[in-house]
Amino acid sequence: MIMKERINQEYHQLKAIRKEMEKLASAYNRFTDLAEQKRQREQRIRTLMGLLPYDQHGVPISDIDFVQAGESHIRRVRALKQELPIWKAIREYLRVTRSAKVAEIGSFLVAVGFMRNVSRQAIESAVKRHPQSFRLAKRGKDKLVSLK
C-alpha cells in the first residue's frame, strides 16, 4: 500500500513537472536563441575591433570613447588584431562592400593596420580555404571576391 501511494505521488509530481516545463518551453527556447545571438554579436564586435585603425600613438582613431577607455582597452584591441584570422577580416570588409577586388582587400587590410604587407596570394588562399563563406570570380584580369 505504501509503495502504491509513493508511485501515485511520484506520478502526480511528474505530471506537474511536465506541465510547468510546457509553460516554460517557449521562454527557454527564446532564451537560448537570444544567448546564441548574443554570442554571435560579441564575436562580430571582437572581429570588428580587430580591424580598427590606429593613429601614430596606437590609439584607435575611429571612436573617441576608446581613448577614454584607457591603455588596457587599447592593448585588448591590439591583441584582437593579432589573433584575428585574415579570412574573418576579409569577411567583415565584404559585409560592408559586398564585393571587392583582391587588390582592394589588400589595400584595406594595410590601411587599417591589420597587416603591414599582405600579398595577393595570402588573400586568395584565405578565400579558397573558406569556400562556404566566399565566392571568387574573375572579371577581366581582376579577381573579384564576394560573400556567398
Do 97 and 70 share a structural domain?
Answer: no
- If DSSP codes are grouped into helix, strand and coil, which group holds residue 117? coil
Do 36 and 56 share a structural domain?
Answer: no
Residue 131's CATH number:
1.10.10.10
Taking residues 131-139, report their average pLDDT: 94
Number of domains the chain contains: 3
d(CA 106, CA 128): 16
Do 92 and 78 share a structural domain?
Answer: no
pLDDT digits (tens, 9 = 90+) for 21-64: 999 999 999 999 999 999 898 888 778 877 776 655 555 555 44
Do 72 and 130 share a structural domain?
Answer: no
Do 148 and 89 share a structural domain?
Answer: yes
Q: What is the pLDDT of residue 29?
A: 95
Q: Which domain holds residue 118?
A: 85-148
Residues 124, 122, 134, 54, Cα dihedral to 10°: -140
Identify the CA nearest to 130 among candidates 98, 90, 95, 93.
90
The verdict on pTM exceeding 0.75 is no
Do 54 and 1 share a structural domain?
Answer: no
